[in-house]
């Protein structure tokens, strides 16, 4: 793992509440959705919410034993623990129906049970990628403030014209352009930080470069960057 990921793992192991909240904020919704899919309609939203929280609790146990040398992707690591949590819940329910006790599966086994032939599907991997981009957008909004981010949201994420944004925000077109350049560069910085933090393998780290959101110095290919970002934002909006 790269130094940023290693540092984040150390924060989780130290039970840093901000690190755990960050993990929950960014990936909790994906775990809830995935658990509901696995439940095949038998698991409601509230149960999925509880199970996703239990997944985070299980991660708190697993993080102390996480072995980066195994080469598991961050996305696979999350999903493996979620599978363990759901399987444990199903075992408990079946045991209750039979009036029996149940011995839980060892978490060490669950963490190491990820089979390269049983990789997460493309929809899940896409949702993890989009969640990383969304985490970077949140960080940018906090850094640049509401006004500048609203200019960026309207022009880039919502696809309004520069003149429309200038009129809506009471700015000159050149002011809108300067604002976009500033926010775009800050976003590139946060994208790099977020993908470093939540990428346990070089394969995951390289996904940013192949997405159209490459970190090109000097603002080159801004149109391609904006287009790729607007498509991701549209997917995120559909999931809400």
**At 76, which CATH number?**
1.10.1740.10
Mean pLDDT for 12-19 is 83
Whether residue 140 is found in the same domain as residue 57: no
Asked which of 157-161, 166-170, 188-192, 204-208 is least confident by mean pLDDT, the reply is 204-208
Whether residue 34 is found in the same domain as residue 55: yes
- Closest of 81, 78, 82 to residue 131, by C-alpha: 78
Q: Report pLDDT digits (tens) over 129-178.
A: 999 999 999 999 999 999 999 999 999 999 999 999 999 999 999 999 99
- How far apart CA 44 and CA 42 sit, in angstroms, is 7
The pLDDT confidence band at residue 111, using thresholds 50, 70 and 90, is: very low
Whether residue 174 is found in the same domain as residue 217: yes
- Closest of 110, 115, 47, 43 to residue 82, by C-alpha: 110
End-to-end CA distance of the chain: 32
**Given 89, 119, 149, which residue is the final one in a domain?**
119
Whether residue 135 is found in the same domain as residue 207: yes
User: For position 116, what pLDDT does the model report?
Assistant: 37
* Total domains, the chain: 2
- Closest of 149, 173, 165, 156 to residue 213, by C-alpha: 156
Whether residue 155 is found in the same domain as residue 110: no
Whether residue 163 is found in the same domain as residue 212: yes
**Given 119, 140, 167, which residue is the final one in a domain?**
119
**Given 80, 95, 119, which residue is the final one in a domain?**
119
Whether residue 14 is found in the same domain as residue 72: yes
Q: Report pLDDT digits (tens) over 27-58.
A: 888 888 877 777 766 667 777 777 777 777 77
Mean of the per-residue pLDDT values for the chain?
A: 79
Q: pTM for this structure? A: 0.78
Whether residue 102 is found in the same domain as residue 143: no
Residues spanned by the domain of 207: 123-239
Whether residue 102 is found in the same domain as residue 197: no
Burial code (b: 16+ CB inside 10 Å, e: under 16) for 158-185 equals eebebeebbeebebeeeebbebbeebbe
Q: Which of 79-83, 86-90, 119-123, 163-167 has the highest mean pLDDT?
A: 163-167
Whether residue 77 is found in the same domain as residue 108: yes
């Amino acid at each position: 793992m790269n130094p940023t990921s290693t540092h984040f793992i150390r924060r989780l192991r130290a039970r840093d509440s901000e690190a755990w909240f960050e993990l929950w904020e960014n990936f909790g919704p994906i775990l809830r959705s995935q658990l509901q899919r696995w439940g095949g309609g038998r698991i409601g939203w509230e149960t999925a919410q509880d199970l996703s929280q239990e997944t985070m609790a299980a991660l708190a146990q697993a993080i102390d034993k996480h072995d980066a040398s195994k080469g598991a992707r961050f996305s696979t690591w999350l999903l493996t623990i979620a599978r363990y949590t759901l399987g444990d819940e199903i075992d408990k329910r079946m045991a209750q129906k039979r009036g029996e006790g149940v011995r839980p599966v060892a978490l060490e086994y669950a963490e190491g049970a990820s089979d390269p032939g049983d990789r997460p599907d493309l929809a899940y991997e896409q949702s993890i990628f989009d969640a990383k981009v969304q985490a970077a957008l949140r960080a940018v909004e906090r850094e640049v403030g509401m006004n500048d981010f609203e200019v960026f949201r309207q022009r880039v994420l919502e696809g309004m014209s520069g003149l429309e944004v200038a009129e809506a925000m009471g700015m000159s077109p050149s002011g809108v352009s300067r604002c976009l350049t500033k926010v775009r560069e800050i976003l590139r910085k946060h994208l790099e930080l977020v993908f470093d933090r939540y990428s346990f393998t070089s394969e995951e780290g390289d996904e940013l470069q192949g997405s159209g959101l490459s970190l090109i110095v000097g603002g080159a290919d801004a149109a391609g960057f904006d287009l790729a970002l607007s498509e991701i934002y549209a997917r995120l909006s559909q999931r809400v």
